[in-house]
Structure formats: structure tokens, C-alpha cells
Amino acid sequence: MKLYDVQTEYKTKKKIKRIKTELSKETKLTIIRLLVSFILLLVGSSSLLPTPIDVIFFIMAYLVIGARIVYTAVKNIFHGEIFDENFLMSIATIGAIILGQYPEAIAVMLFYELGNVFEDVAVNRSKKSISALLEVKPAFATLKIAGKTKTVDPSVVQIGQIILVKPGEKIPLDGKVVLGQSSVDTSALTGESMPQNIKVGDDALSGSINQNGTLQIKVNKVYNDSTVAKILDLVQNATSKKADTEKFITKFAKIYTPIVVFLAVALAVVPPLVAQGAWDVWVYRALIFLVISCPCALVISVPLSFFGGIGAASKQGILVKGSNYLEALNDVDTVAFDKTGTLTKGQFSVVKVAPQNGITKDELLQMAASVEKNSTHPIAVSILNAYTGKILPVENAMEQAGHGLSAEINGQRVVVGNAKAIKQAGIEFTESTALGTIVYVAVAGKLWGDIVIADEPKKDAKKAIELLNNRGIDQTVMLTGDNEKVGSAIAKKLHMSNVYTNLLPENKVEIVNDLLKKSHQANKKVAFVGDGINDIPVLATADIGFAMGGLGSDAAVEAADIVIMGDEPSKVARAMKIAKKTRRIVIQNISFALVIKVMFLLMGAFGMVDMWQAVFADVGVTIIAVLNAIRLQFINFDN
């Protein structure tokens, strides 16, 4: 089967996506055979033809549509695969021909192959979103060398080289923008439809599409380590890990098929021998029994449902590494989160400026920013980002580790630091009770005020916890290395069940192990959501590990079972929603197929259905189950 080919073009002000669907050559040939066989069947069924001639047309029609299936059945027998659907179809239709039921035999093969065509189209449809991800693979890179440009394969570009990306082109490798600014479409990577603006100094992710400005990017990762290569690897291996339900259906089919074959043989042989029944009647019923018993609906629709679930998740910027993880999400009762970078922005910013003694906010920030201007500490950066005014000249700047900075401005000694620094300077003050990191500013022995710096929760964080609570998750737990005061405040703000603070990575593993013990006693599972390299041990320990913002952390992507490619913790609940809907569709298909199969098998055994109705019980049920499976592709999971 051929995947959807997705191409993206940018024209002036709007993006146009064109999706081109192609059937495989095999499927096209099958459609031709269906048409030829159907025409031959119509000719053979004509009352104008004498009996020997109509049989020739029937045999020709059967060979056109059924020869491939019979050949496959024979070939599989020599490979030890006896009891498969090809074997069932071949035995049933050859038997019908022997009994002179030519139209019925041809109809079985026609509808069976029609079902195969329908399955091919359905699988292509369900793979569309994943193949869209595969299309992010860049075809070339424009390398800039000594003022000239050269088109090369992305795999030959080295770290530190400069590449040129024109409007409408895919960014071929990860790097930093060194010249130019533009809007880039990252929807295939993150599921985010809104274009992102990037400028000099910003990271550029491979697989993104440059929309309007020309960019020069300094490469910081070789192709094999790039974002797009990681995503391609994840997507291409997503179906290799099977869910327990899929494994069960495969085992069930291997046991079920031989049993129904032996039952069919018994149905054909026992009644004529024991009750003196007519051989042709009971053999015909046995052939109907074989057609009905084909487990196609289960074998096709269950994996297709899981594949559809993985595809639906990928549309949302959620990469699930296997259907086993998608199924496991249905049993999660506890979700543990890392704090920094997962629930919070992971970026310090000034959240409060509290001047005293008649000093203005602007004066307080100016004094602090002037002293901190040469520091690269995150706290200094956040103060400098908050103040955009004039920086005052400083003299005799000094830094004391664990305390802060001091310097002279206009002949006055200025101290910028924590409570220890103010105490050491002998300045009287009252410690602030604000949440966050407190930076005090004192000038000439007097306190001017304090600046509160904190890592704020993401806009999406509260919604994420609320959605999980609404989904019936028993516990939402925060695990953080931050102090109790800060950790508890954020957990309370987000309405989380529990919070553990002052943790080292090994402490997080111990707590997750305790959570696992409690959940496993109730046959439930624990998920952990993290974003950094320090979360790897916990990601590996939990039943299901989510890597948040996984595009930026190679190690986290490797350790996680599910990768959220954007920066929204609410996608954890969305993944669970998709998993629940997938399981519901799988159960619907299994229940529907088994009920119809059992009902028709009993009716077939008692002679209450003919071959045409048996075809519905096989192909009809398969088509309905497949249609139900691909519903996942049309559900709006954004709501």
C-alpha cells in the first residue's frame, strides 16, 4: 500500500495544502480484475447462453478474480500457514463450484476482493496524518561557502556551517538563526497551526517550513541527530509495538480458524453419516459455514483502529511510540509531573517590583539592572529583561557567591542580592514573604525595596490538571527540586492532589516507585510527564513516560513512551481522550464482529442462510468494522 503524499506550498498570503491519494499498483490491478470478473459473471448469467458455454464464462470469471487467492493459499500451505483467510475462501468457493453453485462462488471472491480494496483505501486514509509527518523530511540543503551557495544533501552538512533557507523551503537541519527573520510553520512538528516568528539568535527546527523571509542558519546538529530525523524514526517505528488486544486477536485467529475448519468438516460429514442426510446439502452448509467463519473483520479492524488512534494523536502533535502505550493510557489513575519546564515556563521573570521609602519602581529596577548588567546569572538576565531604560555606569563591582553583587554608582555603595547579602551589609530590613526568589536592593545603607523573580506556570498548566481531574484521574502529583514554599504554592494554584519538594532525581524515582506499588495493587498504571535530562530515570521507571517539549531533549525522547512535540501539558489529557476513544472503537468492532459471526454460523449450520448472506456475514461485517475504525480520523479532539 502507498502512503498519502502530502505537499505544502506557500503562495503570497496563504498556505495551500494539497493531499494526493494514490492506490497501489496491486490495488489498481484488483479493481480491473473485479470489473472483468463481474462482466464475465453477467455474461455467464445471461439466459441466452447454452449451459456448457455459461459454465466456461463462470470458470473464467472465477479464475480472473480468485486465482490469486487460491495461489496464495497453496503457497502459504507450503510455508506452514495453512489456516488463513485465503485457505477458507479457496476451500469454500472451490467446493461451491464442485456443487455447481458458480455464481455464489464468484460472488464470494468478488466481495472478498472488494473488501481488500476497501481495506487498502481505509488504511491509506488512516495513515494520512502520519504520512504527513513523513513529508517533513527535507530533500536538500542550500549550503553557503565563501559567499557562494551550493545545493547538497542535508546529511553532508556539518555542525557550524551556514545554510540558506528561502521562503517556501523546508528548514533542513537544526540550528540558530544568524541572519534574517521570518515566520515558520511548525504544524507538522508540533500540531500548532499558528506560524511562529523567529529572528537572529532563535532556534530553527528542521522540518519547519519557512514562510516569508530568507534565513541564514548556523547548524548545531548533524542530520541524524536533528529534530526531523528523530521524528521520522519515531513515526516509522510507531506500529512495531503491539497492544495486548492486537496480540490477543492474532493468537485468537490462529486458534479460532483451525477450530472452525474442523467444525465445517464435521458439519459436512457427520449429519449424512449419522442421520442419512443429503451429502450435497450438508457440504453446501459446511461451505457457507467456512465463508462466514473468516476472521477478517477482527484481524483487519483491530490493528486499523489502533493505527487510526496513533494517527489521530500525531495530528495533535503527540507521537505515541506503539499501540501498547496507547492502550495502557486507559488504565492510568495517577499522573506525576515534573515542575520546571513541564508545568512552569522554566524561565525566570520579574513578577513583582516592591519599592520602599518613596523610591519608584523604575528607579529600583534601574539600580538593580545597572549592577547586574555584566552578570550572566538567570536572575540577572530576568532583571535586565524587565528593565529597558538607561543603564547607569558602575565602579568597583564585586560578586559574592551565594549572596549577590555590590558596586558603586554615583559614589554610593549599592548592594543587590538575597537576605544574606543585606544582613551582611548591616542593613535593617523585614524579609519579604512573597513567593519566588527575592532580590533586595540597598543604596547607601538604606533598603530601596525588593524584586520578586519567579518561574510562572504555563498558561496551559491549570487547564491540563483540570482536564485530568475531569477524566477521573485519582491523583495529579508534582515532583520538584524546588523548595517547599514555592512548590506548594504552584501545586495549590494548579489544584493538584499532592506535591513533593526538595527532590533529587533519585528521590523522584523512589516516589514514583511508591506510586506504582499503590496503582498496581488496583491494576492501574502511573504516567510521568517530564522535559529534561534529569527526568530520564523517572520516565523509564513509570508505566508510561511523556516527554514534554521533547523536540529539545534527545535523551528525554529516547526514554519516553509518548512524545508531546509542543509545549502544552494539556495534551496529556488529550492523549488519554484519544486512547479511550480508540479502545471504545476496538471493543465495538470485536463485539459486533463476534455477535454477527456466531449468529450467522448457527443459522448457516441449520440451513437458514445461503451463500449470498454468508458473504455479508464476512465481507459486510469487515467493511462496517473498518468504517468504524477510520472514524477516528474524523473526530475533533481539540474540543
Phi, psi of 436 (to 5 degrees): 125, -170
List the catalytic residue out of 174, 185, 338, 450: 338
CA dihedral angle for residue 22, residue 27, residue 32, residue 38, rounded to 10 degrees: -130
**By the 8 A CB rule, do 418 and 404 touch?**
yes
Query: In this structure, what C-alpha cell is assigned to residue 460?
Result: 496551559
Please answer whether residues 481 and 503 qualify as being in contact, where contact means their C-beta atoms are separated by less than 8 angstroms. yes
For residue 8, report the phi and psi dihedrals to the nearest 5 degrees. Answer: -120, 130
Q: CB of 539 within 8 A of CB of 547?
A: yes
The grid cell for 480 is: 520538584
The C-alpha cell that represents 591 in the structure block: 463485539
Say what angle helices 102-126 and 296-315 make with each other, to 10 degrees: 20
Q: Which residues have a Cβ under 8 Å from the Cβ of 509 and sit 6 or more positions away?
A: 537, 538, 541
Would you say 421 and 440 are in contact if contact means Cβ atoms under 8 Å apart? yes
Task: Report CA 600 to chain centroid distance, whole Å.
Answer: 38
Bridge pairing between strands 141-145 and 162-165:
antiparallel
Q: Do the Cβ atoms of 319 and 231 come closer than 8 Å? A: yes
How many beta carbons lie within 10 A of that of residue 97, not counting itself? Answer: 18
Parallel, antiparallel or unpaired: strands 203-204 and 175-179: antiparallel
Pair 235, 219: CB distance under 8 Å:
no
Longest dimension (CA), the chain: 120
Burial group, residue 555, by CB count within 10 angstroms (0-12, 13-18, 19+): middle
H-helix segments, 276-356: 279-293, 296-315, 323-328
Collapsed DSSP state (helix, strand, coil) of residue 361:
helix
- Other Cβ atoms closer than 10 A to 205: 23
Query: Which cell numbers hold the place of 597?
Result: 459471526
What is the Cβ-side half-sphere exposure of residue 232, based on CA atoms within 13 angstroms? 14
CA 440 to chain centre: 46
DSSP result, 115-133: HHHHHHHHHHHHTHHHHHH
384 within 8 A of 407, measured Cβ to Cβ? no
Q: How many CB atoms lie within 10 A of CB 254?
A: 13
CB-facing half-sphere around the CA of 258: CA atoms within 13 A? 7
Q: Determine phi and psi for 215, rounding to 5 degrees.
A: -120, 145
CB atoms within 10 A of CB 587: 13
Distance of CA 465 to the CA centre of its chain: 20
The reply to whether 482 belongs to the active site is no
Instruction: For residue 78, give the 3-state DSSP assignment.
Output: helix
Query: Residue 443 in contact with residue 414, Cβ under 8 Å?
Result: yes
Instruction: Report the C-alpha gap between 477 and 461 in whole angstroms.
Output: 13
Secondary structure element (H or E) that encloses residue 347, with its range: strand 344-355
Active site residues: 338
